[in-house]
């Protein structure tokens, strides 16, 4: 999965606020994403985020 800033992604499991929709706000070896439900920001290593999100392609 290639991440780009501003990209919307969906997680398999919902966040504590109930939202599964996130926006990528920083890329690199670690990817920072912001929850679109509660605006909380979290950072994951790329390989870990790959396992957490729903991938269409």
How many C-beta atoms surround the C-beta of residue 55 within 10 A? 10
Using an 8 Å Cβ cutoff, are 32 and 10 in contact? no
Is residue 52 part of the contact set for Zn ion (CB under 5 A)? no
Nearer to Zn ion, 38 or 43 (CB): 38
Is residue 35 part of the contact set for Zn ion (CB under 5 A)? yes
Binding Zn ion by CB under 5 A: which of 1, 7, 11, 15?
Answer: 15
Contacts with Zn ion, residue ranges (CB under 5 A): 15, 17, 19, 35, 37-38
């Amino acid at each position: 999965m290639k991440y780009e800033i501003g990209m919307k992604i969906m997680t398999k499991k919902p966040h504590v606020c109930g939202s599964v929709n996130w926006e990528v706000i920083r890329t690199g070896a670690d990817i920072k994403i912001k929850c679109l439900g509660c605006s909380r920001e979290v950072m994951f290593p790329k390989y870990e985020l790959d396992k957490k999100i729903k991938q269409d392609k």
